[in-house]
Structure 1
């Protein structure tokens, strides 16, 4: 009955989790509000706040799980991809904890962990399945053949879907983080009010740079004609942008499902918390007779529970690393 301590520090959330025999008993997430004043994550500030948060987060995770630190069998941690300074804090803590307790270290790929978040709880997909992983830094369609046998069959050629939402929120003058606000206002708007272009990218790849530019010019031209355009039409703008991003993602996912002849379809990553995307996937799944899987909200954004569950499956395989391990800002799946 292995007890795994999971550590996540890839960006601006410091998170710790305890997994016992494949069951998540705690998932503590310490958010960083300091970045709100700057309209985005400041890497140096993020790493400093991680140093302040990591010990209390781990302590609280142990308390919530009612687990003694001496009972931990292994430490799983995010090795990459992510902000190097932020990763360094988590990696250093994990190495020190493992060294002090003389227990194994398990390095985890952040993007693989997003996929494996679907194995938290009882409702699990069956292999092989497809997973659309969408976040501020990544947009990928992944063919999952086994827990750690994953093949990226489609990905963004430039910007990620989450980045397109973040850029849109800045253009609209919304405070950081803007993604949840776009979701909120979109629920009140008409998704067919404005038409934004869908990039014609071959195969299963994505591109969002052109969409970002079209949104920028759309807002610029309409504000020139009416300075109050954004304030008067905010809900409709957000709903229309959200719909276009969702259709771009889901149209490619549908093509991938047909090409691979797979009906177990999953959604993961921070943008999977978006209501429009979740609803769109479920509607498409009902139309195509898919079995759809979406993690609980707390497992969509960056969190240590997904690191801990990934660590659990690596522990069963005996796949450990050593004290020479270093964080990687870029780390292919």
Structure 2
């Protein structure tokens, strides 16, 4: 380790979600089911969008990327927890914790950007339909996704470097089920004011500002939809936008609670419950929300079920 990091901690111990063996057993089964359901649901969304010629619009391009991202996100955060629950081993190495936090932050930041671009896509489709095909070309969509990943990976690197250059001299028990920023920062035995300020600035730029833009986009969408005639046009607009708005509310509502506090604090059980929603529940519900509330997705799933071989061209 570098001279600026005089850590004596070589591994961290997770407190997990419960200290009761029976509760841990139940949780391991529940979260394993959630994890498998998330993998299957999001993989199905990706496959259906990939093979259905009627789902080749920018909206579904972003949705397929969101599903891939959700698979990465839940795998990063939950796989370690499942191993710990099933093997009764609660430890993770110092470097392993750094790697997990890096990818967890990067995936979470990418989702913030992606949800913002999806809101912009819906705004153009509903409020600026004549410009939509000109502005939202496939090339532009690809650049948006690449920009989301690149900026998130670089931002996560900055935060991760600042956190793990701090000294960790003990204790080594994380009051969490994965290496979450507040939980790790609480164990640093040095002044974390600069790191907290940097995290807060990134939270403003990557979480809060996109959230405000999403709210603005949907305010304008709502205003435009209410002026539409006849009623079935309103219904279709609400159908395509309502699913995305539900996902935004679930993900952003919990993420803002966790990261918009500039002052590091001792994690509580409430924080772990909040984290469950944006690391486990949101990725699991996303494919369900889009499938049940989106008419085009439901039709595509019916076509896929009627022609089983169409999923494997």
TM norm structure 2: 0.33
Which has the larger share of strand?
1
Which has the larger share of helix?
2
TM norm structure 1: 0.31
Instruction: Tell me: higher relative CO, structure 1 or 2? Use CA pairs within 8 A at least 6 residues apart.
Output: 2
